[in-house]
């Protein structure tokens, strides 16, 4: 039986890492955190260098064909393996394709191992994304800022996922994040797994 999985998804710069950290402080048992950038960031940077690509490229046809399927495929396989051993996981990544297409979400759900998979969509908007992405100053964000309109279209900013999900709103002026997270943690309360007989 697979342990629970929590998928924190949303546009780059929306605040997924903050949401994930706050959830990890409240959920029991504490899920294993699988952050796409932590796991694959250096590997992706090396792949882009080897292919002579822009170091800030994280979207677009080439990236979608040569990098993204392997990032997300490995992320799902790792999560499924951990869950099979009874440990819940919390995945943090944009998951743009998966959360905005019911068929893709169904496939991703199966790749994660099925069972209880809770999607948490981190809602944002253009003003909030630009402010956060500019402030954090990551090299991987240069391509986003240079091709801003294309980036916004690619992450489907403002498009609500057509699959079941919970919402955390990080837009400027939204309710306090701590209150939203506390309410969500109450809904997502994880019970300890029964001891093996």
* 108-144: pLDDT as tens digits: 999 999 999 999 999 999 988 888 888 888 877 777 8
**Cβ count within 10 A of residue 21:** 15
Asked if 174 and 127 touch (Cβ cutoff 8 Å), the reply is no
The whole-number pLDDT of residue 153 equals 83
Q: What are 70-105's pLDDT values in tens digits? A: 999 999 999 999 999 999 999 999 999 999 999 999
Alpha-carbon gap, residue 55 to 53, rounded angstroms: 6
Describe the crossing of helices 177-187 and 16-26 by its angle, rounded to 10 degrees. 50
The yes-or-no verdict on residue 191 having pLDDT over 70 is: no
The whole-number pLDDT of residue 1 equals 65
Chosen CATH of 5-187 out of 3.40.50.300, 3.90.1300.10, 3.10.20.30, 3.40.50.10540: 3.40.50.300
Q: Which of 177, 103, 173, 93 minimizes the C-alpha distance to 131? A: 173
The residue among 143 and 149 whose pLDDT is bigger is 149
In the chain, % of residues over pLDDT 70: 95
Sheet holding 166-169, edge to edge: 32-35, 89-92, 5-9, 117-123, 166-169
The whole-number pLDDT of residue 195 equals 42
The whole-number pLDDT of residue 143 equals 75
Q: Can you give the pTM of this predicted structure?
A: 0.88
The whole-number pLDDT of residue 186 equals 86
The domain limits of the chain are 5-187
For the residues 157-168, what does the mean pLDDT come to?
94
Q: What are 23-71's pLDDT values in tens digits? A: 999 998 999 999 999 999 999 999 999 999 988 787 788 998 999 999 9
The whole-number pLDDT of residue 52 equals 95
Q: Which of 42, 14, 36, 163 minimizes the C-alpha distance to 90? A: 36
Cα end-to-end distance, the chain, whole Å: 14
């Amino acid at each position: 039986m697979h342990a629970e999985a929590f998928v924190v998804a949303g546009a780059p710069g929306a605040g997924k890492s903050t949401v994930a950290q706050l959830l990890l402080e409240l959920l029991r048992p504490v899920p294993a955190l699988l952050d796409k950038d932590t796991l694959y960031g250096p590997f992706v940077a090396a792949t882009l260098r080897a292919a002579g690509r822009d170091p800030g490229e994280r979207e677009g046809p080439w990236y979608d064909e040569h990098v993204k399927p392997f990032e997300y495929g490995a992320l799902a396989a790792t999560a499924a393996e951990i869950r099979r051993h009874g440990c819940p996981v919390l995945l943090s990544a944009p998951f743009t394709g998966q959360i905005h297409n019911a068929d893709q979400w169904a496939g991703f759900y199966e790749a994660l191992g099925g069972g209880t998979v809770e999607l948490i969509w981190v809602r944002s908007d253009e003003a909030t994304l630009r402010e956060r992405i500019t402030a954090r100053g990551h090299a991987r964000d240069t391509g986003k800022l240079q091709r801003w309109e294309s980036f916004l279209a690619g992450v489907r900013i403002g498009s609500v996922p057509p699959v079941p999900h919970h919402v955390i709103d990080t837009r400027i002026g939204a309710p306090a994040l701590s209150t939203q997270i506390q309410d969500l943690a109450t809904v997502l309360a994880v019970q300890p797994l029964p001891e093996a007989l």
